[in-house]
Structure 1
Amino acid sequence: MTKRIPLALVGVGKIARDQHIPSIAGGADFELAAAVSRHGKVDGVDNFENFDAFLTARPDVKVVSLCTPPEVRFDMAKKAIAAGRDVLMEKPPATTLGEAEALSALAAEAGVTLFATWHSRFALGVEPARLWLSDKTIKTVSIVWKEDVRRWHPGQAWIWEPGGFGVFDPGINALSILTAVVPGPILVERSTLEFPENKKQPIAASIAMRTVDGAPVSAEFDWRQEGPQTWDITIETDQGLLRLSKGGSELYIGDALHTAGPDREYAGIYERFGALIRARESDTDYQPLRLVADSFLCGERKVVASFED
């Protein structure tokens, strides 16, 4: 068995504990050697409260996984790249396209691996959906992505601040699947963004888009859905209907279930990261982030009732 690569986890919050730590432990490529967080700690590894202190103290740890909120990620990624470390970035990879593109250029110049992850692309139904669609003509695409922010982001005030993305934090998952399975660019035409009067980021969004060939694409995002959660993408083609449900974990062709199984999204991320490091390559597709940016540029702002979470 190949020796595991020492890795530092930066940002020990809910997503790190729920997904990153188990996926690192369950995979074959990496060994968690250090953690960096102002508030959380991981048992059995070196823990640091300061990222600069980690870089100085552990030059042997050549790989970092950045799970912090996006607004602080650029400076950390820049320092890690300058120190010759390979970098994985949780989604969304950066606060702006400018930051994201700058990091890609810095990584290329330094010769390190940079991986901008989109975990929903590793859902079980996504790659089979891409393959099925590859020889079809797409007629329409409909995205309905509605969930309860209180359930999935409890106490995370940063998501409502500038750079926090609001409902686009989960919505960008749908856009990452869209841009993975539909060939060619997706173009935003217009959007309506609903801002609670006491928040700085939207709680809901309605987006009209089109494929480069002109097929209409609609997306409805909402963070106020209680009860059953909805993560569906339906694509009508010249040869029938395709539906990705439950965030891409279930694929239906027509009415028949084609692909389903247990969640391996983050396991897939770390397998991909290991392969990129071995090949000394990077993977930095920022198309989902561009669609978010374009939705703000084309967006009509609508103020709605205050929201308390």
Structure 2
Amino acid sequence: MQAIKLAIAGVGKIVYDQHLPAVLGNKDFELVATASRNNTIDGVQGFRHIEEMLASRPDIDAVSLCMPPQYRYEAARLAIRAGKNVFLEKPPGATLSEVESLRELAAAHAVTLFASWHSRHAPAVQVLKDYLREHPPRQVKVIWREDVRHWHPDQEWIWQPGGLGVFDPGINALSIVTEILPEEIFLRQAALEFPANRQTPIAAQLSFTDAAGTDVQADFDWRQTGEQTWDILVDTGDAHLHLKKGGHELWINQAQRELPVEGEYPSLYRHFSDLIRRRSSDVDVAPLRHVADAFMLGQHIVTDPFI
């Protein structure tokens, strides 16, 4: 079949590290253009603004939107109204209402809208999900701690309203939890730590449960130096499961499981291609909804300034 002509809007670190290798490695896509104020991709036609790109390249079939979430809604509206299929980096928007508006607009224009959650495509996630279908969990502990200075050097948008703070990585953990657990969870209580000079949290402790009474605890922290921690521990009563490295390792009763080898972003683009071919959409907002609940229900604690 003819390759899908793809454009990328918002060219930054995540594009260079993840999107570009995944797209170039997928024969279903042809990267034909970018829109970014500051960066370009060698050998690909570049524009500074998405409006200019869409007007100049009517042949574009799909657009991946990789700018910060605060700026994604208007770009998505422009692309959808131009008849383009749209890939949304995580989180899919700054608010739940924005994403619902885009879902309705995509349906009205008969195009694909894909709210991507890359951590769900880590190789251990579906293996663990299948296991928990047969062995319901009793207790879940999420430990997601990393160094913000390493992963987001000098990026002020993450500390501004809509930038999510520690929930920028924490939402990856929530995307896995909402994928693997057989019952829908809901937040019971939360504590969010805000640096005195910032508007988004640097740490969060969350407590969830579900209709079956499963205990789900999450510990997110952006102040960890040295080795980073992206772990989910699950007890089922007859087994202890340990998902490590953000879903790239799975241990069951201290025995490591063999996993598929496909990477997260290659899997995302394979799914995006399939959605476009089927003229379907995939817009799950469960991880973002839990973050919104945390901001609404959580206790706000002021901590040391972030310098």
Q: Shift in Å at residue 262 of structure 1?
A: 5.5
Matches within 5 A, 1:137-176: 137-176=136-175
1:224 alignment partner AA? R
3-state DSSP of counterpart to 2:140 = strand
Return structure 1 stretches of 4+ with deviation > 3 angstroms.
259-263
3-state DSSP of counterpart to 1:138 = coil
Q: Shift in Å at residue 109 of structure 1?
A: 1.3
What 5-or-longer segments of structure 2 have no aligned partner?
Answer: none
1:23-55 deviation digits (Å, cap 9, x = unpaired) = 100112111100000000111111110111111
1:152-180 deviation digits (Å, cap 9, x = unpaired) = 11111100000000000000000000000
160-169 or 260-269, which deviates more: 260-269
1:127–1:261 distance in 2 versus 1, CA, 3 Å: closer
Contact between 1:87 and 1:114, CA under 8 Å: does it hold in 2? yes
- d(CA) in 2 for partners of 1:179 and 1:272? 19
* Correspondence for 2:134: 135
1:255 alignment partner AA? Q
Q: Shift in Å at residue 212 of structure 1?
A: 2.5
3-state DSSP of counterpart to 1:134 = helix
Contact between 2:166 and 2:220, CA under 8 Å: does it hold in 1? yes
- d(CA) in 2 for partners of 1:184 and 1:116? 21
What 5-or-longer segments of structure 1 have no aligned partner?
Answer: none
2:47 alignment partner AA? F
Matches within 5 A, 1:99-118: 99-118=98-117
* Correspondence for 2:119: 120
1:202-222 deviation digits (Å, cap 9, x = unpaired) = 000000111231111000000
* Correspondence for 1:6: 5
- d(CA) in 1 for partners of 2:153 and 2:258? 31
Q: What is the TM-score normalised by the length of structure 2?
A: 0.98
* Correspondence for 2:220: 221
* Correspondence for 1:77: 76
2:253 alignment partner AA? G
3-state DSSP of counterpart to 1:76 = helix
1:86-109 deviation digits (Å, cap 9, x = unpaired) = 000000000011101111111111
* Correspondence for 2:94: 95
Q: What is the TM-score normalised by the length of structure 1?
A: 0.97
- d(CA) in 1 for partners of 2:99 and 2:146? 27
2:192 alignment partner AA? L
Do residues 44 (structure 1) and 43 (structure 2) align?
yes
CA RMSD of the aligned region, Å? 1.0
Q: Shift in Å at residue 150 of structure 1?
A: 0.8
Contact between 1:249 and 1:261, CA under 8 Å: does it hold in 2? no
Contact between 2:136 and 2:182, CA under 8 Å: does it hold in 1? no
3-state DSSP of counterpart to 1:141 = strand
Do residues 302 (structure 1) and 292 (structure 2) align?
no
Number of residue equivalences: 307
Matches within 5 A, 1:284-295: 284-295=283-294
* Correspondence for 1:54: 53
